[in-house]
Amino acid sequence: MIEEQNTGPVAVITGASSGIGAATARALAAHGYRLALLARRVDRLEQLAAELGPTAVAIAADVTDRSALVAAADRVHRKFDGADLLVNNAGVMLLGPFSSAQRDEARRMVEVNLLGAMTATEVFLDQLRDGGGDLVNISSVAGRTARAGNAAYAATKWGMNGWSEALRQELQPDIRVTLIEPGAVATELTDHITDLAAKQGAERLYAQLAITADDVAEVIAFAVTRPRRMTVNEILLRPTSQPG
C-alpha cells in the first residue's frame, strides 16, 4: 500500500542533511515536490523533514553502503510509489597534496562522490524510468578545472562529468540528465579538510567570495521544472568574483 497519497513529484536527495542538499530540499518543496531525504546524520534529516511536513521523509543511508540504498529505495517505493527525481549530491572535499598520507581520504572521495552517485543511480534507475524522471548530478567547477592540491577531488568530479554525459546519451528521453557545476558555496564542505594548509587556503577563498547553498538550490529547481520537451543538461555557476 502507498502511504503518501499526495500527487506532487517525488525527489530523492542524497546528502540532504546540510548545505546544498538541504537547501535543494527546501527549494523543491516550494515547487510541490515530495521528498526523501538521505544522509548519515539522521537527526539533521528528521529536523528538516519536520520543517517540510508530512510529504518529506528522513532516511538514514550512507551512499557507500549499497544495501542501505536498496532499503531506501524500498522505503521510497512504499511511501510514495517511486521516485521522479534523484539528486546525487552527497560528497566530500578532502583537499591536500597527493601522497600516501592522503590515501584513505582519496579513496573515500572516490567512494562517496563517484561510486556513491553511481550506486544510488543504479538502485533508483527503474523508479526514475517508470513514467519519466530526472537525474541531477552535483559536480563542481573542479569537474572542469584542476589544480595542485585537489587532484583526487577533481578526479571524482571529472569522473562525474564523463559519466553524466554518457548517461545523457543512454537514458534520455526517459530520464533527463542534468549536471550542476558550482564554484565556491558556503557550506560545511571545507570543515572536514584535515590538511591544515589546504583547509586554511580554502577557508580564505570561501570567506572572500562564496555564494549560498540557496543560490545553487534555486538553479537546480529551475532546471528540473522546465517543460519535459527540453533538458537543461549542464550548468556552471560561480561566485561572480571567483577567478578559476
Residues that bind ligand NDP (CB under 6 A): 14-15, 17-21, 39-41, 62-64, 89-93, 112-113, 138, 140, 182, 184-185, 187-189, 213
Tell the smallest beta-carbon distance from residue 168 to ligand NDP (Å): 19
- Nearer residue to ligand NDP within complex by CB, 14 or 231: 14
Residue 243 CB contacts under 8 Å (≥ 6 apart), including other chains? none
- Nearer residue to ligand NDP within complex by CB, 184 or 232: 184
Q: Which residue is it, cell 571545507? A: 190
Q: What is the secondary structure of 47-100 as a DSSP string?
A: HHHHHH-TTEEEEE--TT-HHHHHHHHHHHHHHHSS-SEEEE---------SSG
Active site residue 153: yes
Query: Catalytic residue among 33, 124, 153, 158, which?
Result: 153
Q: With contact defined as beta carbons under 8 Å apart, do 164 and 177 qualify?
A: yes
- Nearer residue to ligand NDP within complex by CB, 82 or 239: 239
Q: With contact defined as beta carbons under 8 Å apart, do 83 and 75 qualify?
A: no
Tell the smallest beta-carbon distance from residue 52 to ligand NDP (Å): 15
Q: Which residue is it, cell 518529506? A: 56
Tell the smallest beta-carbon distance from residue 49 to ligand NDP (Å): 13
H or E, element range at 228: none
Tell the smallest beta-carbon distance from residue 213 to ligand NDP (Å): 6
Q: Write down the H helix ranges in 83-212.
A: 103-109, 116-129, 151-171, 196-209
Q: Which residue is it, cell 519536520? A: 50
Point out which residues pair with 137 in neighbouring strands.
88, 179
Tell the smallest beta-carbon distance from residue 130 to ligand NDP (Å): 24
> What is the C-alpha to C-alpha distance for residues 20 and 7, in angstroms, rounded to an integer?
25
- Nearer residue to ligand NDP within complex by CB, 127 or 140: 140
- Nearer residue to ligand NDP within complex by CB, 129 or 200: 200
- Provide the annotated active-site residues: 153
